[in-house]
Amino acid sequence: MGFLRIEPGFGAAEVRAKNSFMHRVLVVHAVTMLFLLGGMFGLSMTAAELSKETRVSNGGSLVTSGGEPVTVASSDLYIGPNGELLQRVSADGRQLEGSEDPQPVTVTQELPVVDLSGG
C-alpha cells in the first residue's frame, strides 16, 4: 500500500514553474505557426504570379511576359483581303444562316468613338 502525504503548499512552486514553461512553449509554437503560415502564403502568391503568361502593363494594355502586346483572333469573324469583315467558317462546317461563302458582316449601328488619351 502507498501513503499520501498532504502538506500545505506542497508542490505549488513546481506547478507554477511548469505553468510558466508551458506558457512559453505555447507562445513559441504560436509564433512559429504564424511565421510558417505567412511563408506559405507568400510562396503561394509568388508561384501564382510567376505562372502567369500575361500581365497588365503600366499603360493598361495586356502584354506577354516578354513585353509584347497580346493579340487574339476572333473565332467568328476575320478581315478579308479587301478589308471587309467576313464571317469565319467553323471547323465542323456550320455557319449562321446556312451561307456557303463568307459573307460581309454589316454593322447596323455606328458605335461612339471614345478618346482614352485624356485630351
List, for residues 63-117, the tens digit of each pLDDT value. Answer: 887 888 888 776 777 777 887 887 777 666 565 555 556 566 666 666 666 666 6
- Give Cα 50 distance to the centre of its chain: 11
Q: How confident is the model at residue 55 (pLDDT cuts 50, 70, 90)?
A: confident
- Note the pTM of the prediction, 2 decimals: 0.44
pLDDT in tens, 8-21: 666 666 777 778 88
pLDDT in tens, 2-48: 666 666 666 666 777 778 889 999 999 999 999 999 999 999 999 99
DSSP codes joined into one string, 49-94: HHT-SEEE-TTS-EEETTSPBP----SSEEE-TTS-EEEPPPTTS-
Q: Determine the residue type at 63.
A: V
